[in-house]
Amino acid sequence: MPLQDIKERIDAEERRMGKPAGQTKLIAVSKVQPNERVEAVLVEGHRVFGENKVQEAAGKWPDFKGRFGGVELHLLGPLQTNKTKQAMLLFDVIHSVDRPKLANKLATLSTELGHCPDLFVQVNTGKEPQKAGVMPEELDAFVAQCRGLGLPVIGLMCIPPADEEPSLHFALLAKLAKRNKLDGLSMGMSGDFERAIAQGATHVRVGSAIFGDRDYG
Ligand SMILES: *Cc1c(COP(=O)(O)O)cnc(C)c1O
């Protein structure tokens, strides 16, 4: 099964880098995939999944969570302020914190709900205009602001530009995390997760290599 192959490749890369086995968390990205494929991976025993959209996740995960114990759900895509509460109730981890308005909303709702998912700040390492994420030069101030609000920021996340060597972006993200005393590094997808592990990824987000190509039909 592809899931097993990916796990073995992660193990091999951890060994190659001299890291303790099992240090890298594999997030199986199930967005757009048919429910049968997702269920097959749940049946195989995997419990850590990622989705891009709050609405799509809300349509399938309450049922899966009811049938399979111990699911850990990660939000990877952009979060609109008006969906923040729903996201906080559905997801265990949010990887896309990227602006003061969202940080403020998360802080207000944390007080109201009495809990907050673990958070990653998304960084636009390639400074792409169309892409979400805090600009690298604005990151330190934003992380400080989040901490000032009491938010549980555990790391940084990036999606490198499609046409550039991802390792350079992974190395930049690692440097920015270290400078901000953050341990978590959410980086690496189907095509580059080994390179991400080599640069210190703690969370890799792998979709199509596990589930097959997404059919956007
Ligand atoms: C879709 C997606 C992934 C997984 O992409 P694959 O290339 O299918 O592995 C990872 N991270 C984010 C933020 C995504 O949107």
* DSSP per-residue letters across 150-172: T--EEEEE----TTS-HHHHHHH
Ligand 1 site, residue 208, Cβ cutoff 6 A: yes
Distance (angstroms) between ligand 1 centre and the Cα of 49 equals: 11
Splitting the chain (217 residues) into consecutive groups of 10 residues, what average pLDDT does each group show? 94 96 97 97 98 98 97 98 98 98 98 98 98 98 98 98 97 98 98 98 98 89
Please state whether beta strands 153-157 and 25-29 pair in parallel, antiparallel, or not at all (unpaired). Answer: unpaired
pLDDT at 67: 97
Domains of the chain, residue spans: 2-210
- Residue appearing with tokens 């968390």: 25
Ligand 1 site, residue 189, Cβ cutoff 6 A: yes
pLDDT at 47: 98
pLDDT at 217: 75
Distance (angstroms) between ligand 1 centre and the Cα of 27 equals: 10
Atom of ligand 1 nearest to the CA of 211: 8
Atom of ligand 1 nearest to the CA of 193: 9
Tokens coding 99: 């602006």
pLDDT at 215: 86
Contact by Cβ (8 Å): 30, 50: yes
Ligand 1 site, residue 159, Cβ cutoff 6 A: yes
pLDDT at 213: 93
Ligand 1 site, residue 172, Cβ cutoff 6 A: no
Of the residues 3, 52, 173, which should be mutated to test ligand 1's pocket, given the most ligand atoms within 8 Å of the CB?
A: 52
| Beta-carbon-side half-sphere exposure of residue 202 (alpha carbons within 13 Å) | 13
Ligand 1 site, residue 207, Cβ cutoff 6 A: yes
pLDDT at 139: 98
- Residue appearing with tokens 């729903």: 86
The closest residue, in CA terms, to atom 7 on ligand 1 is: 190
CA pair distance 209, 103, nearest whole angstrom: 32
Ligand 1 site, residue 103, Cβ cutoff 6 A: no
Length of the chain: 217
Q: Which ranges of 70-136 does DSSP label H, i.e. alpha helix?
A: 84-90, 100-113
pLDDT at 82: 98
CATH superfamily of 2-210: Alanine racemase (3.20.20.10)
Ligand 1 site, residue 205, Cβ cutoff 6 A: yes
Atom of ligand 1 nearest to the CA of 214: 8
